[in-house]
Amino acid sequence: MNKNDIASNLQESIKTAKLSISAVEKWFSMLAEKSNLSITQSTDIDLSQKIKTDGEEKIIEGIFDGQNMIGPNQKMYPIPSNYASKSKLIEGDKLKLTIQGNGAFMYKQIELIPRTLLVGHLILDGSQYKVLANSKEYNVLYASITFFRAKVGDKITIIVPKEKESEWAAVENILPENGEEK
């Protein structure tokens, strides 16, 4: 590899890193803005009493906000996006986090809120994938998009809370075009 190739690769890596940082800052800003609403509007669950210690394990209950679990005292616990995607978590679902003695985090869905399905089209807004359905844009996890191998413009079925507004949706599936499988 010559110096020009290395310089070009470094420039591309810097550009990608800047885009990633920009996306994280945007998500953090949206999350910080949304967190207070999500917790107060999601359910009447008192999270202040939801931390238990069982021997070497610590058990925490919280509410999914679209990307993370919000536990007692508004503490944020990161959810692996592949788990959230595979489990089709939506804003307001109740989760239990078990922190094992060795430091491993294990999440489990313990209460799902009522859901509804919508059909929309995948769009890309900057670096955030969204689905436009019923004249509203819903954020979707990147892990869901890559799992289904979705492309911008694809027709997608999403899951959203039935009884409350949300910013995030879970991807149910990609709808084939013209009756053909993807």
pLDDT digits (tens, 9 = 90+) for 85-96: 999 999 999 999
Structure confidence at residue 45 (pLDDT): 45
Report yes or no on 143 lying in a domain. Answer: yes
Report yes or no on 8 lying in a domain. Answer: no
What is the residue-averaged pLDDT of the chain? Answer: 81
Is 50 exceeded by the pLDDT of residue 136?
yes
Residue in the block written with tokens 């679209």: 66
Report yes or no on 97 lying in a domain. Answer: no
Percentage, residues of the chain above pLDDT 90: 61
Structure confidence at residue 101 (pLDDT): 87
> Is the pLDDT higher at 142 or at 37?
142
How many domains would you assign to the chain?
1
Structure confidence at residue 116 (pLDDT): 97
Structure confidence at residue 7 (pLDDT): 65
Report yes or no on 34 lying in a domain. Answer: no
Report yes or no on 100 lying in a domain. Answer: no
CATH number at residue 169: 2.40.50.140
Q: CB-based burial of residue 9 (10 Å sphere; 0-12 exposed, 13-18 middle, 19+ buried)?
A: exposed
Cβ proximity of 169 and 118 under 8 Å? yes
Is 60 exceeded by the pLDDT of residue 77?
yes
Structure confidence at residue 174 (pLDDT): 95
Range of the domain at 122: 115-179
Structure confidence at residue 109 (pLDDT): 95
Q: What would the 3-class secondary structure string for 5-38 be?
A: HHHHHHHHHHHHHHHHHHHHHHHHHHHHHHHHHH
pLDDT grade for 176, boundaries at 50, 70 and 90:
confident
Per-residue pLDDT reduced to its tens digit, 105-127 = 999 999 999 999 999 999 999 99
Q: Which residues are bridge partners to 77 per DSSP?
A: 69
Structure confidence at residue 172 (pLDDT): 97
Report yes or no on 163 lying in a domain. Answer: yes
Is 90 exceeded by the pLDDT of residue 180?
no
Structure confidence at residue 51 (pLDDT): 56
> Is the pLDDT higher at 2 or at 136?
136
- Report strand pairing: 155-161 vs 76-78: unpaired
Report yes or no on 85 lying in a domain. Answer: no
Report yes or no on 37 lying in a domain. Answer: no
